[in-house]
Copies of this chain bind each other. A is one copy, B any other.
């Protein structure tokens, strides 16, 4: 009915554990929690495996490298299958620099560099979704800067800390006709004024450097807590203050979160058994110490 000229059978490759949003198209590339997708029709698009590392990284180099290679191979195979067999050309790959909603899953610079190479070889657009990781949360303006890519992503999406949803794109992706991309509230001026003040504050108060420093301090101490309470938590990880650790299971995780909440600390759940820490950019060592001390008491009490 609806098919035909101008509406080709294109697809977008996403990854297991990904979260890119809740409307119909982005739900088709979202695979973090079943509850998001209940009752919503979806699209038959390729989903490749995202690496799942073991921690500490320095003790699991070989295992994690194999994760990267297996997942890259899966990406290539999925693209070939959809391009050649299913005839739904993979127009784009979309990936989070760190899978947040899916459980704070990291992948390496090696993985990202090769993913970008594959995208180029397969003539598919490389989209990096920085909605949750963007604007200095990871100790750099954009998390994908940690990957030393040879070339910027073709498209990069942002929202949250940026005050409004949007995306950057390479010039060659500019649409060739007006009104192909348009909405009533394009360029919301209030949000731009907010953002300007936020950017000025980040610069004035050296918040990127602060975030990097406090993140290093936080991670050092989270790793220490993992050693002190190995029966409760493990796998501390982070970039900047964008950090997290796993609990041994979901019920221990939820218990820790509840006790933290009762002591005045809001932390978030993600993935199956992960606790994520997402402080504001003005989080200092004083705040980190309060958090670490309350986390310590909480773990002791369990």
Contacts and interface: CB of A to CB of B under 8 A. Distances in A.
Interface of A: 1-3, 6-11, 22-26, 28, 33-47, 88, 159-160, 177, 179-184, 190
Contacts of A25: 23-25
A190 B163 CA distance: 13
A11 B41 CA distance: 8
A180 B38 contact: yes
A10 B160 contact: no
The residue in A2, A38, A43, A159 that gathers the most chain B C-beta atoms within 10 A of its C-beta is: A2
Nearest to A30: B2
Contact of A159 (B22, B42, B184): B184
Given A23-B25, A47-B2, A37 B7 contact: yes
A22 to B, nearest CB: 6
Nearest to A177: B35
Contacts of A39: 6-8, 10
A90 to B, nearest CB: 12
A190 B193 CA distance: 14
Nearest to A43: B2
Contact of A41 (B9, B37, B47, B179): B9
A9 B41 CA distance: 5
Contacts of A28: 2, 24
A41 B42 CA distance: 12
A41 to B, nearest CB: 5
Nearest to A178: B35
Contacts of A1: 44-47
B44 A43 contact: no
Nearest to A164: B185
A166 to B, nearest CB: 13
A23 to B, nearest CB: 5
Contact of A35 (B35, B160, B180, B190): B180
Given A2-B45, A44-B3, A35 B179 contact: yes
Q: Which 5 A-B pairs have the closest CB atoms?
A: A24-B25, A7-B42, A2-B42, A10-B41, A23-B23
A8 B184 contact: no
A242 to B, nearest CB: 16
A138 to B, nearest CB: 18
Contacts of A8: 39, 41
Contacts of A37: 6-7
Contacts of A159: 184
A185 B43 CA distance: 26
Given A22-B183, A179-B35, A180-B35, A43 B41 contact: yes
A127 to B, nearest CB: 14
A111 to B, nearest CB: 21
Given A2-B45, A11-B41, 7 more contacts: A1-B45, A2-B42, A2-B43, A7-B41, A7-B42, A23-B26, A190-B190
